Amino acid sequence: MTLDIEYVRAQFPAFEVPALKGQAFFENAGGSYTSRFVIERLERFYRERKVQPYAPYEASRLGGEEMDEARARLAAMLGVANDELSFGPSTTQNTYVLAQAFRQWMRPGEAIVVTNQDHEANTGPWRRLAEAGIEVREWKIDPETGHLDPAALEDLLDESVRLVCFPHCSNVVGEVNPVTEITVMAHAAGAFVCCDGVSYAPHGFPNVGELGPDIYLFSSYKTYGPHQGIMVIRRELGEQLPNQGHYFNAGTLYKRFTPAGPDHAQVAACAGMADYIDALAGHHGISGDAAARAAGVHDLMRGHEVALLQPLLDYLSSKNAVRLLGPTAAERRAPTVAVELQEAAEPVAARLAAHGIMAGGGDFYAVRALQAMGVDADKGVLRLSFVHYTSEAEIAQLIGALDREL
Ligand SMILES: Cc1ncc(COP(=O)(O)O)c(C=O)c1O
């Protein structure tokens, strides 16, 4: 079964906007277009339900129920319990709060493992635990390929490690890391695992329950939704870590690591992401429970993306003036493709804009990863990232533009 790209694009109002016609979007790793289901819910909330939720009058009841619906449906798709999923303002704000909880929970002399492959959001906050006497061990990437080798993690693990932080997929290397294998290793050493799924989740929701990490994070503004950070914290860990919210909310797992009041409208609109996955499942004849529907849609998206990605990787690998970061085989990576050029990346992105290509250049907050691979972070990389709604014609448009400008 293949993805019906016409149907997919009809679910995104951006493709109907005259000013965006002919513009091929290749900065999806920065933030995706929003599905119509999410936009419709957001508008309805602001028009009809924009009152304090969970009160006994109708508008409030509907608003509160929609917020609960969002959490319940997304949790079911991710294969976790309802209260193991919470919404924060962004993934970065979520990791800073979590790091504060670990700072209070850990003892001096205990250790954490971080990588130099991560976006700063899943490494910087954790590294600051050194200020509290926590030992920070760096799991380093291969300087040539950017690969994170699980064998190298083995040497960093012992009984003093409490937490291993790593990305499901880096936002510049693109390689999909073996989350379950890494989690099994960390758990065997007695450590918990925090996996940054921000660069992976746009390519299909994973079954976090089966995958295994204790913490799984992603950002819904990159998964066709509103601007929220979605955080799964498994119960065993979440109940041990000190509560970061108001004392009277400590007994509710999904409130323990989100100290501020939530953005009601955006949380409610997150249910639109579940609507979208279900609409894709229905259209393509995928049935089963929520997790099964999400898995089927994940595979559909992935199939489409891999087929479009390989020609782009082949093209970029054939260019002498270009250094492609990460794997050259599409099956091993997400369609988030960063390339080092002989010149600074941002002016090249600006030249591509003249060909109707929307892409960016810079460090993408993955400064440590770029430096580890010998890329001058000031020069940056050109990043070409796409998702399942990208068409074959847009890939051809991109390759044509690159041919002129590289
Ligand atoms: C891989 C990765 N992790 C974390 C983040 C931070 O997410 P947020 O913008 O929600 O803080 C980003 C943002 O670009 C990212 O690409």
Ligand 1 atom with the smallest distance to the CA of 169 is: 1
User: Which tens digit of pLDDT belongs to each residue from 49-94?
Assistant: 999 999 999 999 999 999 999 999 999 999 999 999 999 999 999 9
Candidates 201, 215, 160, 173; CA nearest to 302 is 201
Is residue 219 in contact with ligand 1, taking CB distance under 6 Å? yes
Give the distance (Å) from ligand 1 centre to CA of residue 198.
6
Most distant CA pair in the chain, distance? 66
pLDDT digits (tens, 9 = 90+) for 106-151: 999 999 999 999 999 999 999 999 999 999 999 999 999 999 999 9
Q: Which atom of ligand 1 is nearest to the CA of 227?
A: 10
**Cβ of residue 229 lying under 6 Å from some atom of ligand 1:** yes
**Which percentage of the chain shows pLDDT scores above 90?**
99
The strand order across the sheet containing 336-340 reads 323-324, 336-340, 381-385, 360-362
Question: Residue 157 pLDDT more than 90?
Answer: yes
Q: What is the 3-state secondary structure (H, E, C) of 74-112?
A: HHHHHCCCHHHEEEECCHHHHHHHHHHHHHHHCCCCCEE
pLDDT digits (tens, 9 = 90+) for 387-399: 999 999 999 999 9
Rounded Cα distance between 400 and 359, Å, is: 14
Q: Report yes or no on whether pTM surpasses 0.85.
A: yes
> Can you point out the beta strands (E) in 292-352?
323-324, 336-340
Atom of ligand 1 nearest to the CA of 229: 10
Q: pLDDT tens digits, residue range 165-222?
A: 999 999 999 999 999 999 999 999 999 999 999 999 999 999 999 999 999 999 999 9
| Cα(38) to centroid(ligand 1), Å | 20
Distance of CA 210 to the CA centre of its chain: 18
Ligand 1 pocket: which of 198, 266, 367 to mutate (most atoms <8 Å of CB)?
198
Asked if pLDDT for residue 260 goes beyond 90, the answer is: no
pLDDT of residue 268: 98
Distance from Cα 346 to the centre of ligand 1, integer Å: 20
Q: Which amino acid is at 277?
A: I
Q: Which amino acid does the sequence have at 245?
A: G
pLDDT at 79: 98
Average pLDDT over residues 369-376: 98
Query: What distance in angstroms lies between residue 367's CA and the mean position of ligand 1's atoms?
Result: 13
DSSP 3-state of 124: helix
Provide the token pair at 286: 């995928």
Report yes or no: 237 and 102 within 8 Å, Cβ to Cβ: no
Q: What does the pLDDT read at residue 267?
A: 98
User: Which mutation among 27, 92, 122, 387 tests ligand 1's pocket best, with the greatest number of atoms within 8 A of CB?
Assistant: 92
Residue given tokens 């089966």 in the structure block? 210
Task: Check if 198 has its Cβ closer than 6 Å to any atom of ligand 1.
Answer: yes
Enter the tokens of residue 158: 């012992």
Question: Where residue 262 falls among pLDDT bands split at 50, 70, 90?
Answer: very high
Residue nearest (by alpha carbon) to ligand 1 atom 7: 91
**In contact, 199 and 334? CB cutoff 8 Å:** yes
* CA 194 / ligand 1 centre spacing (Å): 14
Q: What is the mean pLDDT of the chain?
A: 98
Q: Is 199 in the pocket of ligand 1 (CB under 6 A)?
A: yes
Nearest ligand 1 atom, CA 171:
1
Of the pLDDT bands very low, low, confident and very high (cuts 50, 70, 90), residue 302 is very high
Segment 149-157 mean pLDDT: 97
From the CB of 90, is ligand 1 less than 6 Å away?
yes
Q: What is the pLDDT of residues 272-299, one digit of tens each?
A: 999 999 999 999 999 999 999 999 999 9
